[in-house]
Structure 1
C-alpha cells in the first residue's frame, strides 16, 4: 500500500452497521478524504483494508440495494 493511502487510513473514521450491535461481527467502511472508500473486517482491524475507487463503491452499493448480493 502506498504512503498516501496508509496516511489516509490512519485518520479514517470507520463505520459499521448498527445491526451488528456490539458483537464485532461486521464489515466496517470509511470514506477517505480523496474520495475512495476503505473496507475492513471489524474482527481483524489490524489487517490491511481494501480500498475502492468511488465508482467501484457506488456500483457495489447500487447492486446491494437491488438485492444482487442476496444469497
Structure 2
C-alpha cells in the first residue's frame, strides 16, 4: 500500500477492519481505529464513517496514549 495522507476519505481505505472500544455506547458517538497495511493507525468518527480519517504512526499513537494515561491532557480550572 502506498502512503496514505491525513484527511483522506475513510471510504478510500477499503479492506480495513474498523473497530471501536468495547466500552463504547450504542448511540454511535465513538472513535474507530483501523490498522493499515503500512502499520499506521487510521482514526475516524463513527457517526461519519465516510468522512476524513486521520493517520498516525504507531509511535505517535503510543505517545498520545501514554499522555492520556498520565493525565497530560486533563482539563484543569485555573
TM-score (norm 2): 0.72
TM-score (norm 1): 0.78
Residue 18 of structure 1: how far off its partner (Å): 1.8
Residue 9 of structure 1: how far off its partner (Å): 2.2
Secondary structure, aligned partner of 1:22: coil
User: How many correspondences in the alignment?
Assistant: 69
Residue 17 of structure 1: how far off its partner (Å): 1.4
Instruction: Identify, as 1 or 2, the structure richer in helix.
Output: 1
Residue 69 of structure 1: how far off its partner (Å): 2.3
1:39 aligns with 2:43: yes
- Which runs of at least 4 in structure 1 moved beyond 6 Å after TM superposition? none
Which structure is larger by alpha-carbon Rg, 1 or 2?
A: 2
Structure 1, gaps ≥5 residues long: none
Which of 55, 58, 62 lines up with 2:59 in the alignment? 55
- The Cα RMSD (Å) is 2.3
Distance 2:66 2:13 in 1: 24
Which fold has the larger relative contact order, with Cα–Cα distance below 8 Å and residues 6 or more apart in sequence? 2
